[in-house]
Every structure is written in structure tokens, then in C-alpha cells.
A and B are shown apart, each in its own frame.
Chain A
Amino acid sequence: MNWIPQLLEIAPAANTADNYLPIAIQLIFAAGFVAFMIAFSAWAGPKRKTSDKLENFTSGIASHGDARQPMAIKYFLVAILFVLFDVEVIFFYPYAINFKELGWEGFFAVLMFVAFFLIGFIYIIKKGALNWED
């Protein structure tokens, strides 16, 4: 059992496949633990099936109708456009942190970035993607 203290040591600087052994062991342990818990609860837990228990339900309200109803595409469109511009705005945070170091060159790069996304914004407005009423 003298290999266990070795695993606990900090990995040496050289990158070799051997160094990944602890990660592999942890992976196996994680997968094994999940599999064991699922199997154990299925085996050890009580099983009393009634018709009420086997029914689908949400928040305790009895379900009725079909979930697959047509929904206005506008919701989807607005949501996807929101995600798009939201992600673009996120790029300002790293720029804000490196504002001084990047200097004028960085400023012009960000200006170009803003210009491109403004073009996209003008495009979707002109195309009428944000018109709620037809």
C-alpha cells in the first residue's frame, strides 16, 4: 500500500500520462458512486405502486390537455436575440479589466467590435424582427 502516499503528493512538473492516474481514479470513483447509489436505492427502497403515484403531475395540479401546442415564434426570436446581444456585452468585462494595458489599439479593436454588433442590431430592427404586432 505504499503507492497511496505517492498519489497524495503534488504532481511533478513534467507532463506525462502517468500524472493523470489520480484523475482517472477519481473518475472511476465518481462513476462507481453514482451507479452504486442508484442501484442501491432501487433495490433497498420500498415499492408501493398506485395509479395516482404513476401519473404525471406538476405542482400537485392534475394535468390535462397536450403540452405540444403551437406557440408564437416571436417569443423564441426575442429570446435568441437577447442571448446573442447578452453574450456580446459580456466581452466588455474582460476589456474593462484590461482597459489601461490595451491602450489605444485595444480601444479601436473594441470600437470595431461595437460597430459590428451595432450593424447587427440595425439589421434586425430594419428586418422587423422586433415588431411585436404584425
Chain B
Amino acid sequence: MNAIIFSALSGVAMMFTGIFTTNKSAIRNVAVIALLGLIIVNLLHSYGIFVVRVNTHSMLQFETFGLFFNTLVFAATLLFVLLSGKDVTNAGTYGAEYFALIFFVLCGVSILTCYNSLLMLFIGIEILSIPLYILTGADKRNLKSNEASLKYFLMGSFSTGILLMGITLVYGITGTFSIEAMRPAVSVGAPNYGILEPVGLLFIFIALLFKVSAAPFHFWTPDVYDGAPTVFTSFMATIVKAAGFVSFIRLFDARAIEMGISWKIILPVIIIATLLIGNITAVFQQSVKRMMAYSSIAQAGFMLFAVYVNNDMSKEGILLYTAAYSIATIGIFAILTRMKDITFDGFNGLAKKHPVLAATNAVFLLSLAGIPLTAGFFAKYYMLAAVVKENGAGALWLVIVAVLFAAVSVYYYFRVIQAMYFKEGEPEITEVSGGFKTALVMLAVLIVLIGTFPSALLNWFYF
């Protein structure tokens, strides 16, 4: 509850900061302080020191997993603001409002990590999405940004319609919005609701698959990620996507049994389709930004394993994956905003001119590809290990397919590294400050640290 209230109030505070000052660095400082406050109040809740008690009529339920995920997401947002706060205020004319919208997105995230009612799922998804439609169109004079915003808005509201239809069907047949009310019923002897409940759940799943950009509902992703200002693409591809997965996991945790055997068939198909489309299409891209959009679809395929199996290991896996993927992607996009030419050729010869940028970028890319000693390796390892732990040798074929696609992803990630280190060229880049470089090095160190001692992050989860 702390996080939900504080993030909403921070958003309001940011709105009024925009009225009283137009000083961009002051706006950034207020945002950083509010984010630090947000992390602190969430930690206070996690350790039970100070909790705002509101009677939610059990529509929200706070568990360690959700609270820890909140901390992780807020910390990732803090890193994002520290690294690319300047780009946020420069993305358009309303610097403070962009931060306000980011705080409203975080409010949606903190509802999605603890919802216990389908109504709250709906409200959380909407609070999360609506600010994003605006942020996508932040660059008002840019036609591509406008197109992306409109496209995202239309497709997003349509998928919300499907979500509502699904919720209606589930409510109509079971008579409750609560996802928890279903859990004990299963062991006691679940009532048979007939065909309407699986159909309703399927609608909800389709809407959620849309939000996390899994195939075959991924068509909006490349255009929206490409058209949006690069800073907000970075925010959308990391924090928002991870929150979508957590809401997915919460729902599956409670309701998957209701779907019976069918989702054990549906999900592998979706996972493989997502991996296939994301990876194969990314290979053919010329622009690094568009390649990252397809790579985020491919990474979503891996994150879907946490939905497919639901045990302790997959929960640890999704936390690690969120951390690893968010840090690496935020870093890559931060470098991308500094590049004048965002095609692969634009990176030619970066290592000679800006060794720090090239080296950190290489670490981020290695992590996304899942090379050992980086965080991305253990993230992928935990996901696949969870599948084997749950299903034994029977699911080994799925693991092998996933590893093959991870090998495909190495190709397009390494193309950037190859361009930076082994090709000659004159990369054009806007001025980078010493602080920016320091922040990038810190992110790279963080990735290697998590990649070497993943238990350090996970142990914290159990305290």
C-alpha cells in the first residue's frame, strides 16, 4: 500500500514541480529524491516497519514476492533516471510531466504486483498503459512518434476491451472477481463451470500476452518501440514489460489449474512462436533500435517460461531476469540516445574513439545474449532449470529449442560488438559527460556482479 500511495502522490508532486520551476536539473533532482523515497517506503513495507493500513476488502494482497519486485523495479527506474534523466527532460517540452507520468506508471506497477481481484488487474493495467500512450507521443513534432502513439493507443485499448470481455465472462460464470476465492475451491473439489471460464481466462491471457508483446500479439512492438523517443522505449521495454509478466504470473499462479490441461499445450506454442519471430526477425534488421525492439520480443519468450512453470526457481528466475534484462537494456538504450546514426554501421569504430562506451555496451550485449559471467546467463539458466525441475526430461525438447534460439540471438548482438571493435569508421556521437560514463561503468559492474554472485540478489529476496 505504501508504494501505491507514495507513487501516486509523487506523480502529483512532479506535476506541480513543473508549474513552479522550469529548471531541468531541479526537476530531475526532485524526481530522484521522490524515487529514493519510494524505494524507502516500499522497503519499510517489506520489512513490516511502517505500513499504511487501508481496508482494501481483500482486493489487494501483499506478499514478499510482489514487494521485492516493487523494490527491484523502483531501483531500476532510479538507475534509468540517473543515467538518462537528461534525455527525459529533453524529449519534449514538458520535462516535469514526463516524470509525473513515469510515477503514475510505477503506481500501476505496484498495483499489478499485489492485485487479488480481476478488477484491480484491470485498473492496474490501465494506470500502467495510459501514461505510456502519452509518453510514446512525447516528441510532438515527430511524425513517427505521433504514429507510434496513435497505433499503441488504438491497439492497447482494443486489447483492454478483450481483457474486460474475459473478466466479464469469468465473473459471469464464477460470480467472483477474486482470484484467491478460486484457490481453495480446487482442493475441496472445484465446481465445474463449463466452457465459459476457460474462454474468459483465454481472453484475459490474450490481453496480457498483448501487453508483454508475445507472439502472435507482438505486431505493435517494433513500430511503437521504434517511433517512441528512445528514452521512453528504454522504460517501456524494461520496467513495464517486467510488470506485465508479474501480473501474468499472479494470475496463472491462482487460476492455471482451472484451465486444465489446455494451457500446457497453448503456452509452449506461444513461447516457441515468440522466440522464433523475435529472434529470426531481429537478424534481418538494419537499425539497432529496431533490432532491440525485436530482441525484446525474443526476451519476452524467455520470460514466458516463468508463466509456463510455477515454482520457487521460476520466481527467482523472473526476478533475476527482470534485473539482468532491465539493467542491460537501459544501458544500451542510453548509449543509443547518444548516437547520431542508429544503424549497425553507425557503431563502426566506436571502440577506438570512445573505449568506455564500447566496452560497457559490449558487456550489456553479452548479458542480453546470455554469456556466462554476466547476469543474463544466470537469468536464462534459472528459467530453463525451473522447466526441467518441474517437468523432468519430458520438457527437455522445449529447453533445447530455447537454447538454440539463444544461440541465434548471439548473432545479432555480436554484430554490434563486431561493428564497434573490428570495423573502421567515424562514429558520430553527441557530447557525453564524465558522470554518464561513470554511471555506465557502474551498470556494467552491476551486471558482472549479479552474473558472478546471483545468490547475492536472491538471498536478499528471502530476508
Contacts and interface: CB of A to CB of B under 8 A. Distances in A.
A and B physically associate: yes
Interface of A: 15-17, 105, 116, 119, 123, 126-127
Contacts of B196: 17
B16 A15 contact: no
B53 to A, nearest CB: 13
B173 A126 contact: no
A16 B173 CA distance: 8
B12 interface: yes
B419 interface: no
B94 to A, nearest CB: 9
A69 to B, nearest CB: 21
What 3 pairs across the A-B complex have the smallest Cβ distances? A126-B19, A123-B15, A17-B194
Nearest to B195: A17
18 contacts: A15-B172, A15-B173, A15-B193, A15-B194, A16-B194, A17-B194, A17-B195, A17-B196, A105-B55, A116-B12, A119-B12, A119-B15, A123-B15, A123-B16, A123-B19, A126-B16, A126-B19, A127-B19
Nearest to B193: A15
Contacts of B15: 119, 123
A126 B16 CA distance: 9
Interface in B242-288: none
Contacts of A127: 19
B374 to A, nearest CB: 44
Contacts of A116: 12
Interface of B: 12, 15-16, 19, 55, 172-173, 193-196
Contacts of A126: 16, 19
Nearest to B173: A15
A43 B194 CA distance: 45
Contacts of A123: 15-16, 19
A15 B200 CA distance: 15
Nearest to B196: A17
A19 to B, nearest CB: 10
Nearest to A127: B19
B357 to A, nearest CB: 38
A131 to B, nearest CB: 14
Contacts of B16: 123, 126
Contacts of B194: 15-17
A16 B192 CA distance: 10
Contacts of A119: 12, 15
B431 to A, nearest CB: 32
Given A15-B193, A116-B12, A123-B16, 11 more contacts: A15-B172, A15-B173, A16-B194, A17-B194, A17-B196, A105-B55, A119-B12, A123-B15, A126-B16, A126-B19, A127-B19
Contacts of A15: 172-173, 193-194
Nearest to B18: A127
Contacts of A105: 55
A114 to B, nearest CB: 14
Contacts of B193: 15
A105 B15 CA distance: 28
Contacts of B19: 123, 126-127
Contacts of B195: 17
A116 B194 CA distance: 43
A127 to B, nearest CB: 7
A102 to B, nearest CB: 12
A119 B16 CA distance: 9
B140 to A, nearest CB: 12
Nearest to A126: B19
B89 to A, nearest CB: 17
Nearest to A15: B173
A27 B196 CA distance: 18
B17 to A, nearest CB: 11
A109 to B, nearest CB: 10
A6 to B, nearest CB: 19
Nearest to B174: A15
A9 B2 CA distance: 53
A77 B16 CA distance: 20
A9 B194 CA distance: 22
A18 to B, nearest CB: 9
Contacts of B173: 15
Nearest to A18: B194
Nearest to A123: B15
A87 B368 CA distance: 46
A15 B12 CA distance: 46
A127 B94 CA distance: 11
A77 B303 CA distance: 41
Nearest to A125: B19
A17 B12 CA distance: 47
Contacts of A16: 194
Contacts of A17: 194-196
A1 B7 CA distance: 64
A123 B195 CA distance: 49
